[in-house]
Amino acid sequence: MYRKIEKILAEWKNEARRKPLLITGARQTGKTYIMEKFGRKEFDAVIAVDFEKNPAAKTVFDGDLGPESIIPQLEAFSGVRYVSGRTLMILDEIQVCPRAITALKYFYDSGLDLHVIGAGSLLGVAISRRDFSFPVGKVRTVRLCPLDFEEFLIASGDEALIIMCREAYEKRSPLPSAIHERLLEIYRTYLVIGGMPDVVSTYLERGSYVDAGEVQEGILLDYRADIAKYADDTQKVLSQRAFDTIPMQLAKDNRKFQYNLIRKGATSTIFGESLEWLCAAGLTLRCGKVTNPEIPLKAYENLSSFKLYILDPGLLVRMSGMPRESVLNRMGERFMEGLTENYVAAMFTASGVPLYYWVSSGQAEIDFLLQSGVSVVPVEVKAGEHVRSRSLSVYRNSFSPSLCIRLSTRNFGLEDGLFSVPLYAAWLVAGEYGI
């Protein structure tokens, strides 16, 4: 199963002054698989340590953290001889051993030709801890998300559709109707299946939505178990309640996160840290509200107002109890709006696009804002073909953007500065405006 991060890893391998690499991302997004695949393909040998499966490995980092001390111990622990430039060191579930993360600083400072990758399902939580010493400037961090729609097409063997879709996007011209409808059909399948690697492979191998749904249910159970096991005692119940309310949050016409949906009287003081934990764990995606759509967007973020999405649209469908037939047949329009927004948020996040939205005194709302050089590009999201919207008109009249993007089920087209992009091509928008 091809993942775009493979290109990043290949480039990292050949960097002259290479920093140790940390791969963050939620559990079961494929971190271990991609590291092992990379090691087999690009190196003569791999020294792999999983601190969660082998807690004894943590003792390697109890003393001197320099590579001259650590590497011989890892050789003895793994039974694999280290050869500079030809051996990959994998430190999996590295957040279980904080001193291993600290050691990466000394690995980089040594100037040796080392290839070291650390990863962990809750690495983001460890990094965000206030009492944690992170080697700032000494490591490179990459986030692995579920498969985006392009990767889903590759896994499905539909590379030809990718080429046609990219050409239509670049030319701002419509695809042939039959191709457009075929891509919409695959897009709706993706909404149900999502991009979690095990779910995708199960669906492609068996062709069964039921079997894929059972894998999704197992992943959600694992996430809830992680919350119960790893969240601080004061956050366990709160994080669980907040996580479970996200389908309700997205079913509202106003999808701003509302604490009172968690429980009556809930406030940011009570649930703020729990939401931060969910985002740091990669289970949720935060979209911040900006008061002014100006560069830089982050400078105008209103920290008290935000939306919260699930990392994967397929998991959202499973959590919500939405019948898959309703998604495949374009029914349940109200919830489809929130699901579609969640899908776009996932596509943007996979390409490193920061998530922001804009609201004007309760009169208009733009679903996403993209920062492009010194310009801000508004993105409106519609679940279907009915695209009439007062909000985009208000925004255009107020700020006169040179380009606006509308994501919907309509075909490609450009008219009067409004670029119509089919929802299945959201990954192309993300790729153009991503980091």
Which pairing describes strands 116-119 and 21-24: parallel, antiparallel, or unpaired? parallel
User: Residue 208 is encoded by which pair of tokens?
Assistant: 């069964």
Domain coordinates in residue numbering, the chain: 5-143, 175-433
DSSP H or E segment with residue 180? helix 177-193
Which residues, in sequence order, are bridge partners of residue 92? 50, 119
371 CB neighbour count, 10 Å cutoff:
18
Dist. CA 254–CA 363, nearest whole Å: 12
Radius of gyration of the chain from Cα atoms? Answer: 22
Q: Is the dihedral of CA 38, 41, 42, 48 positive or negative?
A: positive
User: What do you get for the CA distance between the two ends of the chain, in Å?
Assistant: 23
For domain 5-143, give its CATH number from 3.40.50.12660, 3.40.50.2300, 3.40.920.10, 3.40.50.300.
3.40.50.300
- Cβ contacts of residue 28 below 8 Å, gap of 6+? 121, 196, 197, 198, 219, 222
Chain segment 30-42, per-residue pLDDT in tens: 999 999 999 999 9
Chain segment 391-434, per-residue pLDDT in tens: 999 999 999 999 999 999 999 999 999 999 999 999 999 999 98
Dist. CA 262–CA 251, nearest whole Å: 14
Q: Is the pTM of this model over 0.75?
A: yes
pLDDT per residue, tens digit, the chain (435 aa), is: 899 999 999 999 999 899 999 999 999 999 999 999 999 999 999 999 999 999 999 999 999 999 999 999 999 999 999 999 999 999 999 999 999 999 999 999 999 999 999 999 888 888 777 566 788 899 999 999 999 999 999 999 999 999 999 999 999 999 999 999 999 999 999 999 999 999 999 999 999 999 999 999 999 999 998 888 777 766 778 888 899 999 999 999 889 999 888 888 888 888 888 899 999 999 999 999 998 999 999 999 998 899 999 999 999 999 999 999 999 987 667 799 999 999 999 999 999 999 999 998 767 899 999 998 889 999 999 998 877 778 999 999 999 999 999 999 999 999 999 999 999 999 999 999 986
SS3 assignment, position 344: helix
